[in-house]
């Protein structure tokens, strides 16, 4: 495996995704340009948006600035799966990974998953599982397409549908009971998606849900 990696670097060298400098996915200068939050619990920043907050903790690596966008978009849209272990190592290095029984992630709608071919959050979760020795499981399914959700103008109906946006997959219905679960997502905008996914886990009996996020768009 080491020889294979050396050959890949020889014939397909890595470049910094932000400044194109020869080296790794993010050079030292660009890495230090990230706006880290440094182990802050950001839960209080999203709880005012919801009648009930289902998360027990929320940690975010950094603000979703242009540099971090390059990393996430390379994994998300350009099939650059080598970014997943890099982001997992950032989670491991910069956040206090909670003591948990399981790692899971925000799922894609089946239509989007089929189109993209993979879930970028699942790729990161699998890598984080290797670092933490906490098993990663595909616990959740997405019931409603985001586009269909966005077309609804009635606020009450939107909130009702958001409450039913996710569900624990049938084969894990009993498995999650009394479990402490890490819930991973790549980008936080308002926290609504993460809260809805947490709600589904709590509804199925999860004891605690800890949110881990790569980048935040919230001011």
Domain boundaries, the chain: 1-33, 37-216
- Residue 100's pLDDT band, with cuts at 50, 70 and 90, is very high
Residue pair 183/104 in contact by the 8 Å Cβ criterion: yes
Best-predicted range by mean pLDDT (4-13, 19-28, 138-147, 182-191): 182-191
Q: Please, what sign has the CA dihedral across residues 54, 192, 47, 186?
A: positive
Out of 15-19, 29-33, 98-102, the most confident range is 98-102
CA pair distance 125, 118, nearest whole angstrom: 12
Q: Using an 8 Å Cβ cutoff, are 71 and 62 in contact?
A: no
Average pLDDT rounded to a whole number, residues 135-157: 73
| 83-95 confidence digits (pLDDT tens) | 999 999 999 999 9
pLDDT greater at residue 105 or residue 193: 105
Q: What is the average pLDDT value for the chain, to the nearest integer?
A: 87
Phi and psi for 188 in degrees, rounded to 5? -105, 125
Using the 8-state DSSP alphabet, how is residue 170 labeled?
G
CB 206 within 8 A of CB 181: yes
CATH number of the domain located at residue range(s) 37-216 in this protein: 3.40.50.2020
């Amino acid at each position: 495996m080491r020889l294979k990696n050396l050959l890949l670097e020889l014939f397909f060298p890595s470049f910094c995704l932000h400044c194109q400098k020869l080296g790794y996915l993010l050079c030292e200068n660009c890495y230090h340009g990230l706006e880290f939050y440094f182990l802050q619990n950001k839960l209080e920043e999203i709880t005012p948006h919801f009648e009930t907050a289902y998360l027990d903790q929320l940690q975010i690596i950094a603000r979703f600035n242009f540099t971090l966008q390059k990393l996430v978009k390379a994994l998300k849209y350009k099939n650059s799966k080598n970014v997943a272990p890099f982001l997992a190592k950032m989670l491991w290095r910069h956040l206090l990974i909670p003591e948990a029984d399981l790692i899971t992630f925000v799922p894609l709608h089946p239509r989007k998953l089929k189109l993209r071919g993979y879930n970028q959050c699942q790729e990161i979760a699998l890598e984080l599982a290797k670092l933490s020795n906490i098993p990663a499981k595909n616990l959740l399914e997405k019931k409603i397409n985001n586009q269909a959700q966005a077309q609804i103008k009635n606020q009450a109906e939107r909130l009702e549908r958001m409450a039913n946006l996710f569900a624990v997959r049938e084969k894990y219905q009993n498995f999650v009971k009394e479990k402490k679960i890490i819930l991973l997502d790549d980008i936080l905008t308002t926290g609504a998606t993460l809260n809805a996914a947490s709600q589904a886990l709590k509804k199925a009996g999860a004891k605690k849900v800890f949110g881990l996020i790569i980048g935040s768009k919230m001011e």
